[in-house]
């Protein structure tokens, strides 16, 4: 069988699957599941084109990783064929642990378990199935391989993952502020003392990358309507789980029922393989099919929330720099109780609640982005740049969220 395939990617054009092992991983059902998990959760309710999937993103990242390895080799960094395949596998599988609607439902179906942890568990499973051929890729992914710069390409503040998703998400949403010079950044990469650095000529492209990331968070990932839709979906699953735990009859596909009918915590998820077995059969279609059926459920709150979701009748969201006034929140809950004939404030909590969101464009001290100056000195981007905006970009921005149904 010919396993040297070419794929027509809308962002990069024709990209190739580099090795037979990588082809077999792409064909595996764990990876094929990513076709049915949207990259940007509920963002398509704001930007209708944002219907691309984790499958698209993983293949795009694989392509960029090949370009990065080629660039580093051309500048004298020795990377063996085995290391090249391993780092490409690590980036290909870095998101394989994402659940339905990507980040929207993370920590909702399974408490305290990140998609990175699930990715690691699935890579371990695949390694057994592929007779140990993923061992080096797993070491790079977990940063236990001596050549640290390879891990940085997979997971860092200027990694291949971010280069693809910013470029891809801006392409599919049509938000031009997210467009970055990914190709120039890759061409400017180098390795010094086992760390990824960017040559000084690429400093402005890196500045633009950081600014684009900040803008994409506010305009796309943390857009008020996106927050409203994702919070509504979280509340629907919270209500569904409450009913399931109290033995109410509730339609759900078998893998979704597995997580609704029990509260799975981190330790149980890691030690009991049945939880991972159920998780790998979950995707967006399980959630959507349940929501469509639950519209007609006898429980008013579940039915009402699902109807609002299907008809895009979302929460009104206010983002503020200070926590919302507690008295205002209580007053709005009482208004919801009266408007919807709810029992108490606990029920009203599905319609009026608070949360918070965080925007970290650049974390100083966390695997800093290093600039290789013409003199040979290596500096942090914040020190090497003459752009005063980078100082503000390094500050964590916390916004407080107040979600209220539009009826109140």
Q: Name which residue leads in pLDDT, 145 or 266.
A: 145
Whether 57 contacts 165, CB under 8 Å: yes
Is the per-residue pLDDT at 360 higher than 90?
no
Cα 75–Cα 14–Cα 53 angle in degrees, nearest 5: 100
Is the per-residue pLDDT at 395 higher than 90?
no
Is the per-residue pLDDT at 25 higher than 70?
yes
Is the per-residue pLDDT at 366 higher than 90?
no
pLDDT given for residue 3 in this prediction: 86
**Which pair of structure tokens corresponds to residue 229?**
């839709």
Query: CA dist 337 to 163, 331, 350, Å?
Result: 46, 10, 11
Short-list 362, 358, 359, 334, CA closest to 348: 334
Q: How confident is the model at residue 391 (pLDDT cuts 50, 70, 90)?
A: low
Sign of CA dihedral 66, 67, 71, 74: positive
Taking the C-alpha atoms of residue 92 and residue 22, their distance in angstroms, rounded to an integer, is 8
Cα 106–Cα 342–Cα 407 angle in degrees, nearest 5: 75
**Which pair of structure tokens corresponds to residue 27?**
């064909």
Sign of CA dihedral 297, 299, 300, 303: negative
Whether 197 contacts 188, CB under 8 Å: no
Is the per-residue pLDDT at 178 higher than 70?
yes
Mean of all residue pLDDT scores within the chain: 94
Whether 353 contacts 408, CB under 8 Å: no
Short-list 50, 33, 156, CA closest to 93: 33
Q: Could you read off the pLDDT of 41-81 as tens digits, one per residue?
A: 999 999 999 999 999 999 999 999 999 999 999 999 999 99
Find the mean pLDDT for residues 309-317: 97
Q: Work out the burial of residue 104: count CB atoms within 10 Å of its CB; fewer than 13 is exposed, 13-18 middle, 19 or more buried.
A: buried
* Residues, the chain: 408
Phi, psi dihedral angles at 126 (to 5 degrees): -65, -35
Is the per-residue pLDDT at 402 higher than 70?
yes
Is the per-residue pLDDT at 145 higher than 80?
yes
pLDDT given for residue 365 in this prediction: 67
Find the mean pLDDT for residues 109-137: 95
Taking the C-alpha atoms of residue 182 and residue 99, their distance in angstroms, rounded to an integer, is 27
**List of domains in the chain:** 6-223+369-395 (1.10.3210.10), 224-261+285-358 (1.20.1250.30)
Q: Could you read off the pLDDT of 243-294 as tens digits, one per residue?
A: 999 999 999 999 999 999 988 889 999 999 999 999 999 999 999 999 999 9
Q: How confident is the model at residue 367 (pLDDT cuts 50, 70, 90)?
A: confident
Q: Could you read off the pLDDT of 301-312 as tens digits, one per residue?
A: 999 999 999 999
Find the mean pLDDT for residues 134-148: 97
Q: b/e for 351-381, b at 16 or more Cβ within 10 A?
A: bbbbeeeebbbbebeebbbbbbeeeeebbbb
Short-list 194, 386, 401, 255, CA closest to 314: 401
Find the mean pLDDT for residues 199-216: 93
Beta strands in 103-246 (DSSP E): 189-192, 195-199
pLDDT given for residue 389 in this prediction: 67
């Amino acid at each position: 069988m010919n396993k040297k395939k070419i794929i027509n990617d809308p962002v990069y054009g024709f990209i190739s699957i580099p090795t037979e092992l990588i082809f077999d991983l792409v064909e595996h059902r764990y990876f094929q599941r990513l076709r049915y998990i949207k990259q940007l959760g509920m963002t398509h309710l704001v930007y209708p084109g944002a219907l691309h999937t984790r499958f698209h993103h993983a293949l795009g990242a694989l392509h960029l990783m090949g370009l990065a390895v080629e660039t580093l080799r051309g500048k004298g960094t020795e990377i063996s064929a085995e290391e090249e395949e391993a780092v490409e596998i690590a980036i290909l599988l870095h998101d394989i642990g994402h659940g339905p609607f990507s980040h929207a439902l993370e920590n909702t179906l399974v408490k305290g378990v990140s998609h990175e942890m699930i990715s690691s568990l699935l890579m371990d499973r695949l390694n057994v199935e592929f007779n140990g051929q993923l061992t080096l890729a797993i070491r790079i992914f977990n940063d236990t391989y001596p050549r640290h710069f390879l891990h940085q390409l997979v997971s860092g503040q200027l990694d291949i993952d971010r280069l693809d998703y910013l470029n891809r998400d801006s392409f599919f949403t049509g938000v031009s502020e997210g467009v970055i010079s990914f190709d120039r950044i890759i061409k400017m990469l180098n390795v010094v003392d086992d760390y990824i650095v960017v040559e000084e000529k690429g400093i402005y492209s890196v500045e633009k990358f950081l600014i684009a990331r900040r803008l994409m968070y506010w305009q796309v990932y943390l857009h008020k309507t996106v927050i409203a839709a994702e919070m509504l979906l979280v509340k629907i699953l919270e209500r569904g789980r409450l009913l399931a735990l109290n033995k109410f009859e509730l339609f759900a596909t078998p893998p979704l029922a597995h997580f609704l009918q029990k509260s799975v915590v981190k330790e149980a998820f890691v030690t009991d393989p049945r939880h991972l077995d159920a998780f790998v059969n979950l995707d967006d279609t399980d959630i959507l099919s349940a929501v469509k059926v639950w519209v007609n459920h006898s429980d008013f709150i579940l039915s009402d929330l699902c109807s609002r979701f299907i008809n895009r009748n979302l929460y009104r969201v206010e983002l503020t720099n200070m926590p919302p006034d507690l008295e205002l929140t209580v007053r709005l809950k009482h208004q919801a109780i009266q408007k919807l004939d709810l029992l108490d404030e606990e029920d009203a909590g599905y319609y009026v609640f608070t949360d918070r969101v965080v925007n970290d464009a650049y974390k100083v001290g966390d695997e800093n982005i290093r600039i290789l100056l013409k003199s040979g000195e290596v500096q942090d981007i914040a020190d090497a740049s003459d752009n005063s905006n980078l100082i503000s970009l390094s500050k964590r921005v916390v916004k407080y969220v107040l979600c209220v149904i539009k009826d109140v």
